[in-house]
């Protein structure tokens, strides 16, 4: 039996969006284990981890379509519906990028040249931190709702996002340096491998870019 | 023609009691749950506590502040002179009996189907219906009816604006500051004072008059401030028990802040029950009061008679039985479904709705508590702080009242002719 007062309250999309972000960021976390396994050339393990990333990405996908399904235009939300949906698809691309890296590396059984292992690890680490910072921002969404997207809480989130931007900048610098190192080695490596190494570096860098975009979306949500 | 009244007087009275009880049961089964559900949903009170609060404050509201609404229903809508009740007073009795039965049945049908109808709209529709068809269109005081209908639009809007302002003040003073917990402890007592003051003021200005006490407006205001301070003191003592538990996920401790608002919500739940009692209960027992005074006087309409306490008690018992047999289930459903409404929002909505309804009661205007509360929730939503509001419901409510008026009217017309055929 429905009742006017209880029917008045729709399902808030805030919590599901946070869950989705957690799942998507989890893909990035798993990518770290995947990279370690590939550095160790443990192809058995990389296969398992790639599957784990895919599973997490699938779960994120399910959460995403669930949010979309429960966000009809008749719902009156504290933030524009289109902004929320946009945020959701950006979060989703985070998971996709992690999956892309793992899929490409596993498919080609790519080996990172020994001298590049440390720089690639560092490059990934920066992207991981950036995504973690984005997750932190998304986890403040319920707090933002609590305050009606105003006041001290907005300041707190703006600070989080400033840090996020700094991390993304760090990732950009790291990526430039990493490419320079790869350039030094180019002559000694098979050309096709070099092309895909550049590709992997770019994909890992994109994880940081996407995380930064999540932050910008949060800023747009808060502004009115 | 008052032979009919003297012949069947007791039967009429028994029927009125039965139908009045039925109607009160319907109010208890559905309407009270709407009024109290927000507090239950916000986990400020348990269902048992809600029922207890409802028992006490619905009765208090009906007794202390419901007099004017009851008299509007009794003799404000029908022009007693024009209707010619002096010649055939039994028509008024048939009409009031049919109105009670029609409104009661319509409420039952609507609750079964989950339609958001209002007690007030059903009873007004029923009374206007029997008066127009059973007597004549001139018998209805149309100016009164239009002002009531206008109030159904105005009251949700008023409570919406009020709720928005109250919630914005909560944001400014508490939520959006650097130490929301300390500020909540500091400012929540003031809101508790407001609850006590509003209820006290309406009771003093309106309620004590029919208890035989005449006090001036200024005196009332002074006493109401006293009541507010007293309630605030109780609230302050209760607030002491709220301790800040560390380890929340942010530095701003909103979970603890909501606990402080939880205490406030106990008070607004009481005010909500009081407001509901003053309006909805009063309009449910109004027709019973009309029949009773007609039977007691043997067919002479007495305009200003004191509402007998037993009628209130009958209404009160009906509500409690309604709550106990059906209402607690509705409350549980509401409680489960509106977890999005945190105490800080719930209290703002309840305080705004209760204030609006109580003021309406004071001026004798029957409004819908549920709709007023919906307006208040929308007002809080305007402050960008409710996860998701289903706007379809607002449309459904509007539709339900367009349907309720003729439905109540048609049912009451049918019963009116049946009763007339039975007794005259």
Radius of gyration in angstroms for the set of CA atoms belonging to chain A, rounded to a whole number: 20
Predicted confidence at residue B247, as pLDDT, reads 58
- Tokens coding B88: 């055939």
Mean residue pLDDT of chain B comes to: 87
- Tokens coding A111: 């080996």
Asked which of A187-191, B8-12, B247-251, B287-291 is least confident by mean pLDDT, the reply is B247-251
Q: Is it the case that residue B1 has pLDDT exceeding 70? A: no
CA distances for B341 relative to A5, B151, B335, B336, angstroms? 11, 26, 10, 11
* Region of B114 on the Ramachandran plot (φ > 0 left; ψ -120 to 50 alpha; else beta): left
- Tokens coding A4: 């006017």
Q: pLDDT above 90 covers what percent of chain A?
A: 86
| Higher pLDDT among residues A89 and B63, named by residue | A89
Predicted confidence at residue B250, as pLDDT, reads 52
Q: Considering only CA atoms, which of A37, A18, A6, A5 is closest in space to residue A144? A: A18
Q: Is it the case that residue B419 has pLDDT exceeding 50? A: yes
Record: contact B388-A152, CB cut-off 8 A: no
Predicted confidence at residue A223, as pLDDT, reads 84
Residues 6+ apart with CB under 8 A from A153: A140, A143, A144, A146, A147, B176, B252
Mutate to test the interface with A, among B32, B169, B176, B332 (most CBs of A within 10 A): B176
Predicted confidence at residue A25, as pLDDT, reads 97
Predicted confidence at residue B203, as pLDDT, reads 84
- pLDDT band (50, 70, 90) for residue B124: very high
Distance CA B54, CA A182 (A): 75
Record: contact A5-B338, CB cut-off 8 A: yes
| Minimum-distance CB partner of A8 among B171, B333, B393 | B393
CB B374 within 8 A of CB B394: yes
Record: contact A149-B384, CB cut-off 8 A: yes
pLDDT (mean) for A119-137: 97
| Minimum-distance CB partner of B374 among A8, A12, A147 | A8
Q: Which residues in A lie closer than 8 A to residue B389 (C-beta atoms)?
A: 8-10, 75-77
pLDDT (mean) for B75-80: 84
Q: Is it the case that residue B26 has pLDDT exceeding 80? A: yes
Mutate to test the interface with B, among A6, A72, A145, A152 (most CBs of B within 10 A): A6
Q: Considering only CA atoms, which of B198, B327, B179 is closest in space to residue B253? A: B179
Predicted confidence at residue B402, as pLDDT, reads 85
Record: contact A147-B385, CB cut-off 8 A: yes
Tell me how far apart the 2 most distant CA atoms of chain B are, in Å.
78
Q: How many CB pairs under 8 A join A and B?
A: 141
Strands (E), B284-339: none
Q: Is it the case that residue B418 has pLDDT exceeding 90? A: yes
Distance CA A171, CA A28 (A): 15
CB B376 within 8 A of CB B37: no
pTM: 0.90
Rounded to the nearest angstrom, the minimum Cα separation between A132 and chain B is: 16
pLDDT (mean) for B90-99: 90
B218-275 pLDDT per residue, tens: 888 899 999 999 999 999 999 888 877 765 555 556 888 999 999 999 999 999 999 9
Distance CA A204, CA A179 (A): 12
- pLDDT band (50, 70, 90) for residue B126: very high
Q: Is it the case that residue B134 has pLDDT exceeding 90? A: no
| Minimum-distance CB partner of A147 among B175, B251, B334 | B175
Distance CA B298, CA B310 (A): 19
Record: contact A6-B338, CB cut-off 8 A: yes
| Minimum-distance CB partner of B254 among A79, A143, A224 | A143
Q: Is it the case that residue A59 has pLDDT exceeding 70? A: yes
Predicted confidence at residue B9, as pLDDT, reads 83
Q: Is it the case that residue A27 has pLDDT exceeding 90? A: yes
CB A138 within 8 A of CB A214: yes
CB A111 within 8 A of CB A190: no
| Minimum-distance CB partner of B114 among A1, A77, A79 | A1
A4-23 pLDDT per residue, tens: 788 888 888 999 999 999 99
Rounded to the nearest angstrom, the minimum Cα separation between A72 and chain B is: 9
Record: contact A147-B171, CB cut-off 8 A: yes
Predicted confidence at residue A1, as pLDDT, reads 46
Radius of gyration in angstroms for the set of CA atoms belonging to chain B, rounded to a whole number: 22
Distance from CA of residue B149 to its chain's centroid?
A: 16
Its ipTM equals 0.86
Distance CA A83, CA A13 (A): 12
- Tokens coding A114: 């020994």
| Minimum-distance CB partner of A148 among B341, B383, B396 | B383
Distance CA A200, CA A182 (A): 12
- pLDDT band (50, 70, 90) for residue A64: very high
Three-state DSSP class for residue B401 = helix
Q: Which residues in B lie closer than 8 A to residue A6 (C-beta atoms)?
A: 37, 41, 333-334, 336-338
Q: Which residues in B lie closer than 8 A to residue A151 (C-beta atoms)?
A: 171, 175-177
- CA angle A96–A101–A105, rounded 5-degree value: 145
Q: Is it the case that residue B282 has pLDDT exceeding 90? A: no
Record: contact A6-B337, CB cut-off 8 A: yes
């Amino acid at each position: 039996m429905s009742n006017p007062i209880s029917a008045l309250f729709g399902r808030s999309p805030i919590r599901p969006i946070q869950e989705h972000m957690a799942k998507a960021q989890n893909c990035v976390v798993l990518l770290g284990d995947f990279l370690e396994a590939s550095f160790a050339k443990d192809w058995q393990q990389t296969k398992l981890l790639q599957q784990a990333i895919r599973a997490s990405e699938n779960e994120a996908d399910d959460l995403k379509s669930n949010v979309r399904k429960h966000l009809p235009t008749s719902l009156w939300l504290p933030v524009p519906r289109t902004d929320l949906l946009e945020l959701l698809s950006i979060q989703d691309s985070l998971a996709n990028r992690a999956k892309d890296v793992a899929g490409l590396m596993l498919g080609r059984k790519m080996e990172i040249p020994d001298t590049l292992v440390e720089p690639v690890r560092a490059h990934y680490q920066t992207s991981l931190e950036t995504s973690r910072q984005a997750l932190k921002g998304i986890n403040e969404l319920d707090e933002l709702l609590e305050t009606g997207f105003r006041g001290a809480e907005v300041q707190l989130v703006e600070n989080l996002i400033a840090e996020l931007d700094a991390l993304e900048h760090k990732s950009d610098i790291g990526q430039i340096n990493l490419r320079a190192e790869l350039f030094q080695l180019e002559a000694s490596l098979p050309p096709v491998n070099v092309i895909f190494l550049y590709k992997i570096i770019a994909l890992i860098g994109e994880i940081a870019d996407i995380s930064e975009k999540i932050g910008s979306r949060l800023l747009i949500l808060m502004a009115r | 023609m008052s032979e009919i009244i003297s012949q069947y007087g007791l039967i009429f009275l028994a029927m009125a009691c039965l139908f009045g009880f039925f109607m009160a049961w319907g109010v208890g089964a559905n309407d009270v749950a709407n009024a109290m559900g927000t507090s239950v949903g916000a986990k400020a009170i348990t269902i048992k506590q809600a029922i207890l609060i409802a028992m006490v404050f619905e009765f208090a509201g009906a007794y202390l502040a419901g007099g004017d609404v009851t008299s509007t229903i009794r003799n404000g809508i029908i022009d007693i002179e024009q209707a010619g009740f002096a010649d055939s007073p039994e028509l008024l009795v048939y009409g009031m009996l049919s109105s009670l039965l029609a409104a009661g049945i319509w409420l039952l049908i609507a609750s079964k189907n989950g339609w958001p109808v209002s007690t007030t709209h059903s009873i007004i529709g029923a009374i206007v219906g029997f008066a127009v068809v059973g007597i004549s269109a001139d018998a209805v005081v149309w100016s009164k009816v239009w002002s009531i209908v206008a109030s159904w639009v105005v009251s949700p809007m008023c409570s919406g604006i009020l709720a928005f302002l109250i919630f914005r003040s909560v944001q400014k003073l508490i939520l959006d500051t650097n130490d929301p917990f300390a500020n909540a402890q500091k400012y929540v007592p003031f809101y508790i004072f407001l609850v006590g003051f509003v209820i006290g003021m309406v009771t003093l200005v309106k309620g004590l008059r029919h208890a035989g006490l005449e006090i001036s407006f200024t005196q009332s205001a002074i006493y109401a401030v006293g009541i507010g301070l007293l309630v605030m003191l109780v609230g302050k003592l209760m607030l002491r028990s709220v301790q800040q538990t560390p380890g929340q996920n942010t530095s701003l401790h909103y979970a603890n802040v909501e606990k402080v608002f939880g205490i406030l919500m106990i008070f607004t739940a009481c005010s909500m029950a009081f407001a509901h009692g003053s309006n909805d209960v009063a309009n449910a027992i109004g027709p019973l009061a009309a029949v009773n005074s007609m039977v007691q006087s043997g067919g002479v309409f007495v305009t200003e008679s004191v509402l007998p306490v037993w009628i209130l008690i009958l209404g009160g018992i009906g509500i409690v039985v309604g709550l106990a047999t059906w209402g607690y289930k509705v409350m549980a459903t509401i409680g489960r479904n509106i977890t999005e409404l945190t105490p800080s929002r719930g209290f703002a909505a309840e305080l705004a709705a209760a204030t609006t309804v109580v003021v309406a009661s004071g001026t004798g205007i029957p409004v819908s508590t549920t709709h007023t509360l919906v307006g208040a929730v929308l007002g809080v939503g305007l402050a960008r702080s409710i996860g998701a509001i289903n706007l379809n419901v607002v449309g459904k409510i509007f539709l339900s009242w367009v349907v309720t008026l003729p439905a109540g009217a048609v049912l009451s017309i049918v019963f009116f002719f049946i009763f007339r055929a039975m007794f005259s």
